[in-house]
Every structure is written in C-alpha cells, then in structure tokens.
Chain A
Amino acid sequence: MKMKIGFEVHEQLATKRKLCCDCPTNYRDAPPNTNVCPICTAMPGAKPMPPNERAVDAVIEIALMLGCDVVIDQPIYIQRKHYDYPDLPAGYQHSSTPIGVNGELVGVKIREVHLEEDPGAYDPVAGTVDFNRSGIPLVEIVTEPDMHSPEEARRFMRQLMLVLDYSGKVRPEAGTLRADTNISIEGGTRVEIKNINSTKGAYHAIKFEVMRQKGLIDRGEVILYETRAYLESQMITIPMRMKVVDFHVIPDPDIFPFIIDRAHVEAIRKRMVETPHLRERRLVKQYQISQAAAGVIVSERELADLFEAVAKQIDPKLTATWFRTRLKKVLNYMKLRAADIKFTPKQFAGLLQMVKLKRVTPEQGELVLRELVKKPAEPEKLLRKLGLAPLKRAELEAAVVKAIKENPKAVKDYLKGRKEALNFLAGKVMKLTRGRADPRRITKLLRAKLRSSKRRKKKRA
C-alpha cells in the first residue's frame, strides 16, 4: 500500500528569555502566571521587544544541522497568524517566514525551518490558562511528505530528535515536543493529525490512521479532508471539532523584518555542533570501530563526547565495546542518561586499563563501573571497597579443591559426561571466592583438577 507521510515538528528553544519580552522561560518551575508581563499576555497597547537574537541564531544552527540553505540577504518577516483560542492572548501567534529551506535528514526532505512562539497552556477542564509558556520561542520544522510507512516515520522522528538533542538548542526536558503529521494513502485524501507528543506517539498515531483510512477505502467510503487529534491514552485519532480557519497571515507591523547575512551564517556554521550521522561516520573512520558500536555511541551527544574523551586515553576498540555493552547496560538499569554521568573520562579509562591488564575480570569491571556511576571515585579505591583485590592462585586453587570435595555428586555427574555440572561447580567456586575470580580461570582450573582426579581414579582402578 502506497502512502505519504509528512511532519510539522515544534520544539521549544532553550533560551533564557522569551522571544519578544524579557520574561524567563523556566515555566514549569514557576507558579502559574508569574513569568508574565504586559507583552507576553498581550495587554492592550503592549508592543513586542526586538526578537531574541539567541532564538534566531538557534533556528539558524538547527537549520544548518538539517542541511538547509539559510535564507540570507532578504528580509525575514515575523508574521501574525491569527486564530481564536483561549491559549492565545493576542489572538495571533508570531511565526517567521522560512529561515532555512531545502534541507534533508535520513532521506527525508526538509521543506522549511522557521521561528514561532508558544501559546499559553490551556486547561479545558479547569477553564484556566497559564501564560508562563506564552511567548517562549519554538523552532518549527516542516518536512515534505517523504515517508512511506509508519516505521520510516518513526526512524525519521528518532533521528530528528537526536539532531535537536545534539544541537543543544532545544529544551532537554521531555514533553516539549509537539508534532502534527499528515498522511495520505493511495486513493485517499490528506488527513492531518495534531497532538502528537513523542516519537512513539507519532508511530502509533500513523499506524492507527493508516488502518482507519485503509478500512474506509476498502469499504468504498470517502476519506474526508480533516484535522484529527491523537489520543495518546487510547492510541487512536478522533476528529477535531475545528473549523477550517484562515489564519489571516500578515507581516507583524510591530516588528521590523530582519536580514541574515552570509558572514553571520558562516560564523554559526563554524561553531555549530557536528550532527549525529556525520559523527557516527567519523567515529567509525577515526577510531576504527564498528558501525554498530558507533551507532550506539552517537545515540546521545554526551555519550559520544565521553567516548571520545576516553578513547584518547586508551584502546578505542575496547572503549567502544564497553560503551556499547556494559556502560549502556548499567545506564539502562539505573534509568540514567549519559548526561547524568558524573565520573570523569580518566576514571573510566583507569577502569579499562585494569581490565586490559587482566587485573580485574570484565565482570568485576562491571561491578566497579556500577559503583563509578553511583558514586564516582578512583577505580583503585572502588576495587578495594568492593573487596575485589586480585585473588592469589593458591586461594583460587584452595577454593576449587574445596568445591570438588564438597560436591561429590556434581563431580560424579561431570565425570559421567554431564557438562552442566561444571557450571554448577564453577558457581560454587565463584561463591567461595566472593566473585573475585575470573570465571574463565575457574573453569580452566576446575577442568584440570577434575581431569587429574579422573586419571587418579583410573589408576586406582
């Protein structure tokens, strides 16, 4: 089944001040309607301040990261887009003409990137509006309808989120994304879906919508051009009771248009963050690591930063393996993001050095890593704290002998050819040595001891 899917994605920009006034943007931390002034509540007669340049620069940088051409040497207008809703104090929303055009990300064309302003937060149940959010700058990214399945759409959204995350220009906290998507399947009509708040939500909304539209077509019904809302709790879309509105777009006469010059764009390009897909390519080449490992490493900007800092100090391949497996595992287990990591690259390199020199086993290393994540310290110190000082050969041998002696049935089973019995015995040794021994050394030693005891038995017989 052929289908076309496109997105309009809005994310809040991480500026300290709102777009057209000096109010702070930490709207979640402030009691309702305290981060407000006559401008962002559109009190009669209030005029906007000149647009926040940091917001404009952030949009330019994001546009560049999405491979867009930045619109230079011609006026960019801040326009008024009118609609009637309780969250919009002025009755119109500020929305710039395109700042970036003709971009591309994972094969999806980016039609345009521009600047917008967030409205307030309306609670229809309580009938209240909180204007703390009103006037916070947003970046809006509009794609061409270039995706052809829910999976492709999901892949694009993931990558887009990653790019935005990398840019460091959008708010890091979850729940600031707002996306609209439009879907048309062959023989149908374009339908818009609003109210999507996550990549997962986008995927489910599109999946539902495709099924719904296909069902209609199969039954010979007509698909209406309409705007629907996604209900996250039920993973369905429902028609929005919204008249088709004309936004009456006019350039805002309160704000002079601004012009971006080439030198400014180049200055931003120079300092701009490397995009995840370019970084992935570079990591593979520069550190000779696998594509898969690089993919995991670039999944968070801070993770990739840490990787490069560690890989400069110690074997990059070993580092990559550890990042992809054990570090990722520990972080997932503790529900942490790379940004939450407190230990230093040097501490992590120290740990890997111990592993490399076989002073600790990888398993022990992982135990140290857990501590490192919980409460950073020098790996040596953690090793002592965990009682993981290297085991003497004599101690290990004693433990092996003890395990063999105390578990005659397992020994017997093993000698009869039941290989699992060896694992059982190894577990016992592990317990006796309180996990300090390398499992590979244990099995090796166990096998040797058991082999010799078998020989002895044979001799006696």
Chain B
Amino acid sequence: MEPSKPSYDSLMRHTRRHFLGTSALGLGALAMRGIIGDAQAAPLPKGTHFPAKAKRVIYLFQAGGPSQFETLDPKPLLREKHTQPLPDSVRQGQRLTGMSGYQATLPLAGSFVDFKKYGRSGVEYSDLLSHTGEVADDLCVIRTMHTEAINHDPAITFFCSGNQVAGRPSMGAWASYGLGSMNENLPAFIVLVSQDATKDQPLYSRLWGSGFLPSEHQGVQFKAGKEPVLFLTNPEGVSPHARRGMLDALGKLNADQRAAELDPEVDARLAQAEMAYRMQTSVPEVADLSNESPATLAMYGDSVKTPGSFAANCLQARRLVEKGVRFVQLFHQGWDQHGGLPGGIKRQCKQTDQASAALIKDLKQRGLLDDTLVIWGGEFGRTAYSQGKITKDSYGRDHHPRCFSLWMAGGGVKGGHVHGQTDEFGYNIVKDPVHVHDLHATMQHLLGVDHERQTFKFQGRYYRLTDVAGNVVKAVIA
C-alpha cells in the first residue's frame, strides 16, 4: 500500500516521534522525512520534487491593496479622461464593493504622479518608486494579478493561505512543512510587521498560522526590542548560566523518566528544550543590527535606524535568510487609500521604496539574490475610478480584485521583465492573467516543489496551498 503518505492522524501521533529521527535538525525541519516523494526525489533536497531555483523567500507584503496606477501600471488614458465616467462597457456589470457600489457616478482618476523608464530594460515605474527603478533590471513586474475576494479580510486571508476561509495553512507554513529550516537554531518561517506603518486595516495571526499543519510550522513573529521572539528572554534574575543549570537538571529528570516509562517521547521533549536554549542565543544575535556597516545602513535609508520600521525589517530579513531561514514575510500596512490617495500613497512609498530596493541590492552584492525569491505586493488592486469625488488635488480608489500589480525578483525569475497586460483603463486583463493560485504555484515551483504534489491529508481530503487550481507561470521564469 502506500507507506509514505502522511495523514492528519498519523502526524497527530507521529509528529513527536519524528524528533527522534530529526532532532538534530532545526525547528520545522521535522516531520518531513519520508513524507514527500522519497522514491522520486532521492538526490534532491528534502521536500523538493525537482531542482530548486530558489532556496528561500522574502515576501514584502503590502497590506491594504496598493494602487497599481501610482506604482507599477501606467495608464495615460486615465489622465486624458480624468473625471469622466467609467464606461459601462469596461465595467461589464462586474460587482463593486458596498463602499462605492451605490455611488451615483464612477469618475475615472488619472495618476497624479508621472512614470519613467528605468534601466536597460526600460520598464516603467512611477516617480514614487524611483529607488525601485534603480533595480528595474532585476525585477519582474506582473501587471495581471487577479483574485477572488473584494474585501480586505477575505482577500488577505486568500493571498496568505490560498483560501478565503480561515483555518488553512499560510504560504510560509507550507514552505516550513515542505522544506524545513536550514538552520537548526532558528524557525523556518519568520514574520516581521512594520511598526512605522499606518495601521488602517488590521493583520491577524491566521495570516501566518499553520492551519491544520502541525503548529511548529506557524510563523514566528520577530518583534523589535528586548524580546524579539515571545517568551524568549529569561525572567529577570535568571542568568544564562542559571538556565544552563536548569536544563541540565531537566535533562536528568527526563532521562530518569525515559528509563522508567520506556517512552522515547521524553527525549524529544528534552531536545526541544535544548533547542529553545540555543534559540535564546541565536535569535538575539541575528536580531542585532548594530554591526551592520554604515554603507549598508545608508543603503536602506534613515529609517533603518528605527527598530521595527519597514527598512529595519528589510535588513532583518536579509540577516535571517543569510542564516538559513526558509521563509520571511514582512507586512507593511497602510495602503488602503479609499480617499486622499495622493498623500497616502506618497507616504507609503516613502516608507517602503528605498528599503525594498536596498534589499535587492544587498542580497545581490552578497550573492544571495540568485537563490532568494523576493516578492512585493498586496492582496488586491484599486479601481480606475475615484471613490468619492475628485477634487483639485485629491481622489480615492476602491478595492479592485480584477487586476493589480506586484513585482518579483531573484530566485530564478526574469529580471527587467513585464508580464501581462491590462486594458487601457486598467480595469480588466487583456493578456496573461495570473491568479493568486498561479502565483503560489510559481513560487512553489521556484522552490523545487510541485504544487500539486505537496499535499496534507486533513479531514479525509488532500489539501494543498493551491487548492484545486493553479498553473505555474513559466513566462516569468528565467
């Protein structure tokens, strides 16, 4: 029969046991032995189905839904037709949110900001992304992303877990489950949330949750400050030496228990306590940005000095992947510009543009970009028309799931490339649509994973990140 297939229930009982075999590996490296295609994949790294182009991922998630019109998808026609109503022939009766769905008129809004061509490739970026433009030849812009949800909560949940319903594993949890960590002293999936962002729409721990996968695959949130990981720091008055003494005593207690109860599980528990102890050293080390060179710091911009800022988190992300963390996901909120878009998006780009570009340059100069996939984008785009009235110097845009833009870099994607085309209103896709499932499939493909084969049986069904859909977008792969 099928000895290597996992099931929820077998893991339920056997996950802990796997530590016996893998306790020398890191958090998250567990449970994978024998789970994914051993037979076919013998010479390949664990969890992969074919050679990987990317070993790790940094996802710069821009929560709230950045407008494509002021960033990555120039639409001169909207400037020409500024304030004119959106033609019905373009909308085609597609649904709107309850925010602007009852609006009496839907006036088109041209971008307040200009676009320029950058690099040898000549890809256009808005003036708000001039630093990003500097690395244009490393980036692949997808202008034809589309999604199913139209409100933040379902849409961001869909983007982060492949399903609008709560309770599915997140992208990073799948990567941790499938590929494990490359550093025994650090979690495989780490999450960083910008502290300098405008908190317009909330984030939820489900966005980096493990869903029905074992809980060790859930994203571990790193925070700026004294305790980068929850409960990492010893109580006041407990020195590392004292902690070592406790662990030694714990080792003796558990060894005794093991001998009395004949239960290998006890060893696993001790191994986890030891790993926790190592994390107490390794995490503060990796979280300490103080020995970064002035040149590096300057590249990320002034705000890199503010702990927890997007810039500091970008630098942190580089340090983490350098240490072997598999999946780092940043979240930067504040992109939900229903009104006052020009001011809002200027602020957002100022917070993120320079550091995002710096991350690419930094990875590149360290030779990490080739096998690190970086993705920048949000959960949906914004409408070509203004939500609310257009005034002399302001307008807003409602949620738009039918097309939006993001960029990818490194990890085997084409540099200086634009994929897909939207219509001249930026309302519908004309060519090469990329569904969220397609993006997930592509991301997994670059990691060496066949998205149809990395599955987990739960409640009688085989689940995967891409549910029952998803096609690898070969055209973006170098």
A and B form one complex:
no
Which residues of A does B touch, CB under 8 Å? none
Residue ranges of B at the interface with A (Cβ–Cβ < 8 Å): none
